[in-house]
């Protein structure tokens, strides 16, 4: 069986003599080079004395290297043990959260002193951090609670604001409709006012024409009155003449009657005389009948002229009253005209104002729509902020709870 | 016209129409309203409403005027159309001035004796004292 090296490779068979010795030494050195300090050169097996000395030195060197290596290994083991203890102690402290104590190790290697000092510094730093984190967690918890309250309040306010904005938008929509209606009504009022103004002007013209007619009626009534007076005088003169004619006719009748009477007394001789007298009497009676008719006519004319006079006087009074009323109506219509003019002007101004109001209302409605959209977004953002604040508060409480597990005092 | 025919003068007194013999009249006078006391206004036949004519008669040689409302004219009454007043009526009536009826156009018209009417009136006035005489008495 061939001899095996520490790495398991087959060790070549040693040559005889010097070469074999060198090979043996080289093989051991290779093993040493690979860290196997336990290999030794079998000096007794060497044939070359020089190589045997070298082999002994190699073995001594190997022995010293092995001792040195064992020392280093022991120190490394102690350091490793110290590190493990330190790490275990830190892990325990961290896991248990008790930072009040100090690190004590079973290993007192000088090389671990810096490590222990560093761990102590780390512990102190950790304590300070925990304290600061605890205070920060408390502040964070308090602040997050305030933020949550503020966010909740903000969300509530935003919701109320959104509701108010929505109601305001609805109201403005109604106001917009009302503004449209008002604008149309104002336009109608302006049109009616203009028509009223035109009608009032026509009325003013009609009253002026009426007053001119009244003036003509009054002048005509005066002329009629004068004509009636003249007619009455003529009629009175006719009456006087008729009275004279009637008196003459009466005397003629009387004379004819007496003539007839004398004729009758004369008997047959006076018959022709009686006939003539009777004819005269008939004529006289005809005249008196005519004068009676004339008197009746004169009486009717007197009544008619009296009625005409009264009517004329009434016309004059009515014309004067008409003129007075026309003047009053003119004054009233002048006032109405001024009022209608003012109403028309005001209606036009109102119409323009309502149109501006309608435009402004439409702009306000549009702006309210935009505000409502922004408010809706703000409401969503506020809701998100509230959720985030709630999450933040929860995390703050969790952080505070976690930090509370560390004892630093 | 025959000898028996009657010439009458028709006159109106109040609402009624009477006839008088033309021969009893001297003349017909005009209105006496200016001096009504000169005429005979009240007779047994009544009083005129509006005395526009006067019938002048001769009474005892003096003229008397009977006031009437109007004279309608002269008419000839044929003898057959004149009826004297019946005796019974003459006895019953309080006056002798009504002498009979004249049928004029089928209407009976009283024929009046004007002088008798005047005399009866004057007798009546003399028998009854006037108001002034009564006051003096």
Per residue in A282-333, pLDDT (tens digit) is 898 899 899 889 888 888 888 888 888 888 888 888 888 888 888 888 888 8
In a domain? residue B1:
no
Chain A residue with Cα closest to B76? A264
CB interface of A with B, residues 191-250, below 8 Å: 250
CA atoms within 13 A on the CB side of A157: 8
CB contact under 8 A, B22 and A250: no
Nearest-neighbour CA in chain B from A211: distance (Å): 56
Using a pLDDT cut of 70, give the percent of chain A over it. 95
A257 touches chain B (CB under 8 A): yes
Nearest-neighbour CA in chain B from A317: distance (Å): 43
In order of A216, A393, B41, B114, the CA distances from B121 in angstroms are 70, 155, 10, 10
CB contact under 8 A, B74 and A268: no
Q: What is the pLDDT of residue A1?
A: 44
Q: Which of A111-125, A187-201, A316-330, A389-403 has the lowest mean pLDDT?
A: A111-125
Distance CA A329, CA B128 (A): 79
Chain A residue with Cα closest to B73? A257
Q: What does the mean pLDDT of chain A come to?
A: 84
DSSP result, A152-163: HHHHHHHHHHHH
Q: What is the pLDDT of residue B11?
A: 95
Q: Is the pLDDT of residue A223 over 80?
A: yes
Domain housing B128: 6-136
Distance CA B41, CA B29 (A): 14
Q: Is the pLDDT of residue A360 over 90?
A: no
When comparing pLDDT for A42 and B31, which is higher?
A42
Max distance between CA atoms of chain B, in angstroms, equals 57
CB contact under 8 A, A278 and B23: no
Q: Which of A48, A62, A54, A38 is nearest to A16 (CA)?
A: A48
Per-residue pLDDT band for A2 (boundaries 50, 70, 90) equals very low
Q: Is the pLDDT of residue A6 over 70?
A: no
Per residue in A42-100, pLDDT (tens digit) is 888 888 888 888 888 888 988 888 888 888 888 888 888 888 887 787 777 777 777 77
Mutation for B interface: A255, A258, A266, most B CBs within 10 A: A258
CB contact under 8 A, A257 and B73: yes
Cβ(A278)–Cβ(A260) below 8 Å: yes
In a domain? residue B78:
yes
Q: What is the pLDDT of residue A323?
A: 85
Fold assignment, A180-371: Helix Hairpins (1.10.287)
Mutation for A interface: B19, B23, B27, most A CBs within 10 A: B27
Q: What is the pLDDT of residue B135?
A: 58
Distance CA A325, CA A332 (A): 10
Distance CA B96, CA B43 (A): 12
Distance CA A159, CA A164 (A): 8
Q: Is the pLDDT of residue A136 over 70?
A: yes
Q: Considering CB atoms only, which of A258, A265, A278 is closest to B28? A: A258
Distance CA B6, CA B76 (A): 6
CB contact under 8 A, B74 and A264: yes
Rg (chain A; Cα; Å):
76
Cβ(B57)–Cβ(B24) below 8 Å: yes
Number of structural domains, chain B? 1
Distance CA A208, CA A64 (A): 152
Q: What is the pLDDT of residue B2?
A: 64
**Chain pair A-B, CB pairs under 8 angstroms:** 32
DSSP result, A365-379: HHHHHHHHHHHHHHH
Per residue in A197-221, pLDDT (tens digit) is 898 889 889 888 988 888 888 888 8
CB contact under 8 A, A261 and B73: no
In a domain? residue B16:
yes
Q: Which of A354, A340, A343 is nearest to A186 (CA)?
A: A354
Per residue in A229-273, pLDDT (tens digit) is 888 898 889 989 999 998 898 889 999 989 998 988 888 888 888
In a domain? residue B61:
yes
Q: Which of A20, A18, A39, A43 is nearest to A30 (CA)?
A: A39
Nearest-neighbour CA in chain A from B9: distance (Å): 8
Cβ(B48)–Cβ(B68) below 8 Å: yes
Q: Is the pLDDT of residue A14 over 60?
A: no
Q: Considering CB atoms only, which of B1, B23, B74 is closest to A260? A: B74
A74 touches chain B (CB under 8 A): no
In a domain? residue B30:
yes
Nearest-neighbour CA in chain A from B49: distance (Å): 18
Sign of CA pseudo-dihedral A6, A11, A14, A15: negative
Q: What is the pLDDT of residue B132?
A: 57
Residues on chain B touching A271 (C-beta within 8 angstroms) = 1
A256 touches chain B (CB under 8 A): no
Q: What is the mean pLDDT of residues A351-365?
A: 87
- ipTM score: 0.84
Q: What is the pLDDT of residue A306?
A: 84
Q: Name the pTM for this structure.
A: 0.48
Instruction: Give the list of residues 6+ apart from residue A255 with CB closer than 8 angstroms, or none.
Output: A280
Q: What is the pLDDT of residue A8?
A: 56
Q: What is the mean pLDDT of residues A336-342?
A: 87
Domain edges within chain A: 1-93, 180-371
Q: What is the mean pLDDT of residues B25-54?
A: 82
CB contact under 8 A, A260 and B7: no
């Amino acid at each position: 069986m061939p001899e095996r090296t520490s790495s398991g490779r087959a060790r070549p068979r040693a040559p005889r003599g010097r070469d074999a010795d060198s090979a043996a030494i080289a093989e051991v050195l290779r093993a040493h080079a690979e860290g196997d300090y336990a290999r030794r050169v079998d000096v007794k097996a060497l044939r070359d004395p020089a190589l045997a000395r070298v082999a002994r030195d190699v073995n001594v060197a190997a022995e010293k290297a092995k001792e040195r290596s064992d020392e280093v290994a022991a120190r490394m083991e102690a350091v490793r043990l110290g590190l493990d203890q330190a790490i275990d102690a830190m892990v325990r402290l961290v896991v248990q959260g008790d930072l009040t104590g100090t690190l004590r190790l079973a290993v007192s290697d000088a090389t671990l002193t810096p490590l222990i000092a560093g761990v102590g510094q780390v512990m102190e730093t950790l304590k300070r951090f925990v304290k600061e984190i605890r205070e920060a967690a408390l502040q964070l918890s308090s602040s997050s609670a305030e933020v949550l309250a503020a966010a909740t309040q903000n969300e509530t306010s935003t919701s109320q604001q959104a509701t108010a904005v929505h109601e305001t938008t609805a109201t403005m929509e109604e106001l917009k409709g009302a503004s449209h209606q008002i604008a149309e009504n104002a336009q109608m009022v302006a049109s009616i006012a203009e028509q009223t103004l035109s009608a009032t002007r026509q009325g003013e013209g009609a009253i002026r024409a009426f007053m001119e007619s009244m003036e003509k009626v009054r002048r005509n009534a005066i002329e009629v009155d004068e004509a009636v007076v003249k007619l009455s005088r003529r009629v009175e003169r006719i009456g006087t003449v008729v009275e004279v004619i009637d008196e003459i006719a009466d005397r003629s009748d009387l004379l004819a009657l007496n003539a007839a009477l004398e004729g009758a007394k004369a008997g047959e001789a006076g018959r022709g005389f009686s006939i003539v007298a009777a004819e005269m009497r008939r004529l006289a009676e005809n005249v008196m009948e005519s004068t009676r008719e004339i008197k009746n006519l004169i009486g009717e004319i007197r009544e008619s002229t009296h009625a005409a006079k009264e009517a004329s006087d009434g016309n004059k009074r009515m014309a004067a009253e008409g003129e007075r009323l026309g003047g009053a109506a003119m004054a009233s219509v002048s006032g109405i005209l001024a009022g209608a003019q003012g109403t028309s002007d005001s209606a036009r101004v109102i119409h323009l104002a309502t149109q501006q109001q309608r435009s402004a209302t439409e702009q306000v409605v549009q702006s309210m729509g935009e505000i409502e959209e922004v408010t809706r977004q703000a409401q969503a953002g506020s809701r998100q902020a509230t959720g985030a604040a709630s999450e933040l508060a929860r995390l703050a409480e969790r952080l505070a709870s976690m930090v509370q597990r560390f004892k630093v005092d | 016209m025959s000898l028996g025919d009657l010439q009458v003068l028709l006159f109106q007194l109040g609402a009624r129409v009477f006839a008088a013999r033309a021969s009893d009249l001297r003349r017909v006078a005009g209105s006496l309203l200016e001096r009504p006391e000169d005429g005979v206004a009240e007779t047994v036949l009544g009083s005129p409403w509006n005395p526009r004519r006067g019938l002048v008669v001769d009474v005892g040689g003096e003229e008397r005027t009977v006031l009437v409302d109007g004279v309608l004219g002269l008419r000839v009454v044929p003898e057959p159309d004149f009826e004297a007043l019946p005796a019974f009526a003459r006895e019953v009536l309080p006056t002798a001035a009504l002498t009979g009826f004249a049928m004029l156009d089928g209407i009976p018209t009283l024929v009046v004796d004007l002088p008798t009417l005047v005399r009866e009136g004057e007798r009546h006035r003399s028998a009854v004292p006037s108001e002034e005489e009564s006051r003096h008495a």
